[in-house]
Amino acid sequence: MSFIYSLILRLIVTAIISYSVTPLIKRLSCKLNAVDVPNERRLNKVSMPSAGGLGIYLIFCLASLLIFPDVIPFKFALKMILVSGIVVITGLLDDIYELSPKQKLFGIVLAALAAYFIADIRMDTVNIFSFAHINLGFLSLPFTIIWIVALTNAINLIDGLDGLASGVSIIALTAIGLVGYLSPAAVLIQVPIMIFLLVACIGGFLPYNFHPAKIYLGDTGALFLGFMISTLSLQGLKNATLVSLIIPLVILGVPITDTIFAIIRRWLNKQPISSADHMHLHHRLLSIGFTHRGAVLMIYCLALIFSFIAILYIFSSTLANIIMTIAVIFGLQLFVELIGLTGSERQPLMNILKFIGNKAFRDKTIHEYHEKKTNKKQKD
């Protein structure tokens, strides 16, 4: 019990240090010219220091080595600091000089390769419920790279409102830490403790980042948090449960959903995948009447729901897990269509439900179908 009290005390101290250091990082960010200047793509109306993630990274390094040396092995901490430092440098350069998408991708891939070969962070097997256990073999490297790159970019994409990415990261990391700690198969205590340490670092920063923000995460922070979530989820959930692939996907349901539908939307509209638009989840919530703070809190609630469902997986039977997964996918698709994340004209699930329950809509749909079929025959 004394260990738990000591751990909580040290986490509180870490959060206080992070809170105290953030104003200094704000000044440093301005001196480095890591400033977010308002333009048509951004919601901020004034210039804002945008290297807040640098403070989170520095406190994370300090705490890992000096505050938790008896819990987090030095070699493990040093490897995580070194490999994550690559994305921090990449993000900082982007905040100062605005790197191209290809240059940022290069930095993330380089960090992913370092994680694989230096920190031994890899996806060796894929477990799906109790009937699929796949040993990836030589596919371990590409799957690991894809996992890290995808999740890192997913967190970066949702960083569009004050406190959004940092708050969602706190929720996701806490869920990952709890699953890794509570699971009967968990053996590496240093992984969940490092996760809670990172949560404390972000928690100290969040008061400055929540609306109205005084400093942004920037790509420095968004890439760092995305990278840490992707790597720590591979370590913390590796042997936690028979649904180890499903759990992190559910926990990160908000950023993953936003990313997947952004790709689908741009592909359907014949736009480059890397192009920007104002159709992300937070944009859609703002467009239907949510305030800035209200949209952020709404997405927090969604992230909490996903995390709660993910924790239930480790206590439920295989059948219950399958039913929950189907329900999550169905509910998520319905929510996405209701807020118009893919566009008002692309609502397949809503149209099916209307077709089943609305006779007028069904008759109209059948009539339009036959009309199109007749017109096509006439043209032929």
Numbered residues of the known binding site for Mg(2+): 156, 219
Query: Residue 215, SS3?
Result: coil
Answer yes or no: are the C-beta atoms of 208 and 163 closer than 8 Å.
no
User: How many helices (DSSP H) and strands (DSSP E) are in the chain?
Assistant: 15, 4
d(CA 209, CA 163): 5
State the Cα–Cα distance between residues 284 and 338, nearest whole angstrom: 10
Are 290 and 164 in contact, with CB atoms under 8 Å apart?
Answer: no
Q: How many CB atoms lie within 10 A of CB 247?
A: 28
Asked whether the beta carbons of 342 and 336 are under 8 A apart, the reply is yes
Phi and psi (nearest 5°) for 215?
A: -155, 145
Give the residue numbers of the binding site.
156, 219
Helix (H, G, I), strand (E, B) or coil at 316: coil
- Spatial CA neighbour of 310 closest among 180, 121, 200: 180
Q: How many Cβ atoms from other residues are within 10 Å of residue 197's Cβ? A: 26
